């Protein structure tokens, strides 16, 4: 997955942002959520062009 590829469609978080959060010390999903906003809106499945 490329750094600019969206992982969270509702919050518009990229794979690169998640990787950066991990480099910045995030070791749990909760820490990644706090640092990036990923998985906080809950509409990714609905907004994803992939339908998943």
- Which residues, 6+ apart, have CB-to-CB distance to 12 below 8 Å? 6
pTM, to two decimals: 0.82
Among candidate residues 1, 26, 33, the one with its CA nearest the CA of residue 16: 1
Q: Say if CB 48 and CB 11 are below 8 A apart.
A: no
In this structure, how many other beta carbons lie within 10 angstroms of the beta carbon of residue 2? 7
Written as tens digits, the pLDDT of the chain (52 aa) is 899 999 998 899 999 999 999 999 999 999 999 999 998 888 877 788 877 6
């Amino acid at each position: 997955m490329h750094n600019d590829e969206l992982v969270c469609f509702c919050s518009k978080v990229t794979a690169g942002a998640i990787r950066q959060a991990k480099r910045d010390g995030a070791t749990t999903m909760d820490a990644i959520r706090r640092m990036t906003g990923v998985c906080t809106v809950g509409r990714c499945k609905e907004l994803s062009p992939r339908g998943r």
